Amino acid sequence: MAEQTYNFIDLFSGCGGMSLGFERAGFSNLIAIDNWKDALVTYAYNRPGANTLCADLLTLKPSDVEDRIGGKNVDVIIGGPPCQGFSVAGKRIVDDERNQLYKSFVAMVEHFKPKAFVMENVPNILSIGGGIIRNAIFSDFEQLGYTINCKVLLASDYGVPQNRRRAVFVGLRDKQYTFPDKTVNNPVTSWDALSDLTEDTTIEGGAYSNAPLSDYQRLIREGSVGVFNHNITIHREQTKHIIAMVPDGGNYKNLPKELWQLRKVHIAWTRLNSKKPSFTIDCGHNHHFHYKYNRVPTVRESARLQSFPDKFIFVGGKGSQLRQVGNAVPPFMAEQIALNLKTYI
């Protein structure tokens, strides 16, 4: 007997990190919606025939989405709506006009009435204003008939070589969702993720320079025909000289004090620690460096740290690719949420 297939739509999809996790868990995507064309180009490039829509979710009507998916049933809605409009001032926080993107997520859930929804955001969304945002989110979805649970998840607990923390809300009808237990006892390290990739640029689709050196590398290479998106950044000699002073896992405090103020951010001159998972991957601000090489991570290295498989290829300029990677939900973490969700729906 064939396994039940569940459909989902991805709002604020980006390049599709959360979608990929759900797809790996056996879900089928009906449509991915975002207002950033670059990200959707990457999304579609990795999914021939994918249904994508570049649109402003502030103005997009649920009925328009229903038309685009041919009236098909929606089992799950996933996504990460920006909540930059939330503030701690006043109790009418969710009525702030800047929060209409979040409200559009609520509207889609209200229209399609899925069996479940999964919404992710930054961890401090749970604590700002003594929990006023968290309480507003619970109230909005409970009024639609959903039972909500939320938790801050650590990506490295699910085989992602990155200590990325994300707040995840899961809503079900008449059921209380329990988040998946961690899937690894020994976290995947930066060395496990990156040690087989070269110091210098690899031509697009070029052969791997050596055999995989870890179980993670064997897993992440599955289905790949070569190395893509491994184009290094060329730094100034002064920058490389300063990076060279910082040891594996070190930061600006390892530099002479007269150099501490060269960059006015506390994360500056931070190296990955080869023996630990990466810190949270950013969107390419050139403050974080490889644990060994005197340069910032490439797009492919950043993708590895986010748990994107090597066969997932990023499209666009390098700056855009780094933003796509940095903004994504780690697919391995999303996969575990999706696999667990299957047991409820």
Provide the annotated active-site residues: 83
Sign of CA dihedral 332, 15, 33, 134: positive
Q: Is 75 exposed, middle or buried (0-12, 13-18, 19+ CB in 10 A)?
A: buried
In angstroms, the CA 92 to CA 32 distance is 31
Q: What are the backbone angles phi and psi of residue 50, rounded to the nearest 5°?
A: -65, 145
Which residue bears the tokens 């955001």?
Answer: 121
Q: Are 70 and 4 in contact (CB under 8 A)?
A: no
Q: What are the backbone angles phi and psi of residue 21, rounded to the nearest 5°?
A: -60, -45
